[in-house]
Structure formats: C-alpha cells, structure tokens
Amino acid sequence: MDTWLRRTLLYIVALGGIILGYAFAYDYGMATFENDPQPFLRSLRVVVETFTTTGYGSDAPWSTTEMRLLVIVMDITGVVLIFLALPVLLFPLFEEAMTTTAPNTVENGLSDHVVICQFSPRGETLVTELDTWNVDYVIVEPDRNRANNLYEDGYYVIHADPQSVDGLERAHLSSARAVVADASDQVNTSIILTAREVDESVQTVSVVKEPDRAKYHDLAGADAVLSPRGLLGESLASKVTTGVSTTLGDSIEIGEDFDIAELPIHRGSDLVGTTLADSGIREQTGVNVIGAWFRGQFVSPPDPDAELDGSTVLLVSGTESQLEQLKQMTLSSVRGFRRGETVIIGAGEVGQTITSALTNAGVPHTVLDQTDAPGVDVVGDATDPEELRHAGVGTARTVILALSSDTDTEFATLVIRDLNPDVEIIARAEESENVQKMYRAGADYVLALSTVSGRMLASTILEDEDVISMDQQVEVIRVAANGLGNTTIGEADVRSRTGCTVVAIERNGAVITELSPDVTIEPTDKLVIAGTDDGVTRFNSVFG
C-alpha cells in the first residue's frame, strides 16, 4: 500500500505539470497561430476537456497546422496518461479496498492465549478445542495470501514471520499461555529458539514429523515434543488386538478399576445386525454405552433402535472385567489367528508402529509396501489387485491401510473391498475432510492424522483443564458441579439437554460410578463427563 501511495502521488504531480504545460502551449498557440487570444483559464479548460475526452467543440475547428498537431498530441497524451493508467493505479486500489486483509499485529489486549505458528489441518482441530474451552488464540501466518484467506474464514490470524522476534512480539507472546510450532521440523526448531529469546517462561510445544529429530526440538528448548504418527499407529492397531484399549490411558484416573474405552464391533460378531436395545450389552456386561460412531459419525446418546454393524465403534464405561466381557462380544465368533490374517499396507512410521503393536500382541500379520525394507514381507503397489492378492488380502480377516496419500487409500479401499467383500478395512486418513470418502469407498474404521494431532496438542496445552482427547470427536473432562448442586442425576437430565454423559462423580476423595437417576449431586462434587466438542460447549453454557 505504501508503494501504491508513492506511485500515485508521483503520477498526480506529473499529470498536473503536463496539463499546465499543455495549457500554456495551447494559450500561446491560440494567440500566435489562430490569432485568437483568450483567457488562460479557458485554455486550461480545453486541455482538461481534451485529456478527459469530454469535448472541446467550442474552439474547434482550428485553421492552422500547428494547432491541429498540438491538439492531436494532446489527445494521445490524454488517452495514455488517463485511461491506460487506470488499471495500474486505480484498479489495485479498488481491489485492495474490496479485499479483507489480515492484520499485522494483535490489535487488543490479548492474554493467556495460545500462539499457533502457521496453520495446518491439525490446527483446525486445535482451534475447535480451544474454542470449546473459551481459550483465545492467534495464528501467526507468514504467507500473506494464506493469512488473508484464514482471516476471511473467521480465524484470528496475523500476517507475521513466526521465526522472527518481531513477529512473535506482535502476537503478544510474552502474555501467552503457550506457543505451538506446527511447520516443518527445521522451521519448528527455529520458532522454539525465537520463542525462548522473546520469553523464557512461555510453554513451548513442537510437532515433529520425523521421530528421530525429536531430540533437536528438545535441545531447542521445547517443553513438549509431539509425534502424532506414533499415536495414530497405536490407535489403528488397537482396533485389531484383542486386549481392551482404553482411550484414557493413565492421563486421568476416574476411579480404581473403572475406565472408558472405544470398542469397535468386528465383522462376524454376534452383535452385527442387532439394535442397541436388543444387543443385551447392558444386561450381559453392565457397561454404560456413552455413545457410538456409525460410519465415522459420533452419536451421543445413541438411538436404542440404531443397528450395529462392522463399522460401529462403541464408547463405553465400566470396570475392567465388564469391558473385557464386552470386548469378547464385539469380536468375531469365528475369529482365529492364522498366518496372514491381518495385512498391513504401508511400512512408514505409522505402519511400523502398527507392526510393532501387533507383534507384541501376538497377532500374525503380513506387511506390504512398495519399497523393500526390513519388516516388509511383500513388495508391491497398494492399488494393484494382483499384488494385493499376493499379499493375502483375498483371504485376510483385517486389512490396515497406513498409506500417506489419501487418494491411494481411497482407491486401495475400493480394490480391497472388491477382492474380499467380508474383510475388515481399517484406514488412516491424512486429512479429516477425506474420512467420509473412505467410508463411502468401503472402509470400516477411519482415523485422521490431523484429528489425532490436533487433539494431542489440545490435551498438552489444556492439561490444567483435565481434558482427555480421544481419537475422534469426543472429550472426557472433569468439571465442578456448579449449577447442578442439590439436584439428582434424573432431574439434571444432562444427557438430553447437552448430549454429554455423566460418567462418574468425585466426592470427598471417593469416586461414584454407579449412577442411578436418584443419585444426588452435591455442590462440592466434581463430575466426569464425556461428550463431543459441541456437547461440552453446551454443557458449559447450560451448567456454567
């Protein structure tokens, strides 16, 4: 904009000088050649009319060659200076006036916020999590067009260089609760070093793409270094192994011998084809079904008449023995581990993590990759039917797609489903926007790297809030009873009002997990609730 202003000022000065010059020339010509002296102001008017093509009939025609040539030159000069200059000078001005431009600095007294250095697909999940907890953020984006697009999309973004002290200072880093470095591995270390130069005390979180480079992020001063691909591999492998895999891990203790877990229903399970009401899950195991994913869409509470199939994943709470009982119900009644039963396609970091997890669980498997490397059993193309058949896909019980290209994963899913209509297909998605396409292609369970990454970041930054981020759209959080004090579980009606489920009540150091409708919530209690991002937002809004 500064360049445009300088250019425009020079143009206006030059145009004014040229008009005055022609006015003097015209005034002299009329007196000398046409023998028709006239006031200078009239000569100036004629020049302006000529330049703007608004007319000069009052002085035409001219009888001398000299004046005719002068008027011709004025005509050409006016067209060049006025009309050809419009696209160069005025059009950019109009375009800039119509375009929303991202600011270059934080424009208010922002504090206790999260500084996100560059925006990635996982950043969208992180922003959603922060919005759920009313935590402010600012995205520092070095690319101007990208910053403007994000600004137009409603994100709080500034256009600045996150690798510079000035850029982070303009993001008010010194008053922030954390900074997230989410670019390339090399850029992330530079951001962390710069953040330490601005403020030694701010929490720094860095995302590493290559695990063997994590130590350099530590050396740069990162408080937390996250490797999302490893967690993604473990999550995908947990859908195959027979042990109960709780999504909470050791991050939060709800109570002794009481957990929350995701349990996928496998093809061949006796639960397939039944409704939730007719399944007998509650009667036979005693678990509480908090919600369920139906082809990637989470529903809480689930409809009792919803039909269960091979793509359904249950979110349940209960004791370890209860969860083990339900796990057995979700497995195929004819499942028997045989060689090649599970085929892993892709031997990158995610694939290697899956392979290690299945090996530790004693699950036989075959690994296919297009590159011959240690641990690869079959070298071949994941989208070639013959090479997939050679890897054992035609007789496999489960296929795990750990490819980095979503397009290849979608195509491979179609080929695998054609080769083996009954196989379970578990897929990794790079971008969350492609999850539904993979389900349409025939996948039974899809997990997006961007979603896992974003929730890892949120869980790290919001650890003081006791946020437990699950694989997909669900959070398990601990909150104060607040507006629910002195009401019963039935009277509170949390589930129908917010979509969240009260999993447990913490009271005086004890944990109550048997929650009948007549259990009274005391004002000093803490509640453990599970729900989607939107559900948690509604809970905070309704109950404070």
Q: pLDDT tens, position by position, for the chain (544 residues)?
A: 456 667 667 777 777 888 888 889 888 888 888 888 888 888 888 888 877 777 655 677 788 888 888 888 887 887 777 766 666 666 666 665 555 688 888 877 788 999 999 888 778 888 887 887 788 999 999 998 899 889 888 899 999 999 999 999 999 999 999 999 998 899 999 999 999 999 999 999 998 888 888 899 999 999 999 888 887 887 788 777 544 443 333 333 465 667 777 777 877 788 888 988 888 888 888 888 887 877 767 777 788 888 888 778 888 878 778 888 888 888 765 544 444 489 999 998 889 989 998 888 888 899 999 999 888 999 999 999 999 999 999 988 889 999 989 999 999 999 999 999 888 898 999 888 898 899 899 998 888 888 777 777 877 887 544 444 344 456 777 888 877 878 888 888 888 888 888 888 888 878 887 788 888 888 888 888 887 777 888 888 888 6
pLDDT number for residue 474? 67
Cα–Cα dist 29/62, whole Å: 10
Cα–Cα dist 340/317, whole Å: 33
CB count within 10 Å of CB 103 equals 15
3-state helix, strand, coil in the chain (%, to 5): 45, 20, 35
> Cα–Cα distances in Å, from 230 out to 84, 123, 226, 236?
59, 18, 9, 10
Cα–Cα dist 134/115, whole Å: 15
Estimate to the nearest angstrom the gap between the alpha carbon of 67 and the chain centroid: 69
* Residue 297 dihedral angles phi and psi, to the nearest 5°: -100, 120
Helices (H) and strands (E) in the chain, counts: 20, 23
> Cα–Cα distances in Å, from 151 out to 9, 104, 114, 145?
30, 11, 17, 10
pLDDT number for residue 96? 59
Pair 71, 33: CB distance under 8 Å: no
Cα–Cα dist 402/345, whole Å: 6
Buried b / exposed e across 377-403, counting CB within 10 Å, b at 16+? bbbbebbeeebbbebbbeebbbbbbbb
Cα–Cα dist 469/454, whole Å: 9
Buried b / exposed e across 330-359, counting CB within 10 Å, b at 16+? bbbeeeeeeebbbbbbbbbbbbbbbbebbe
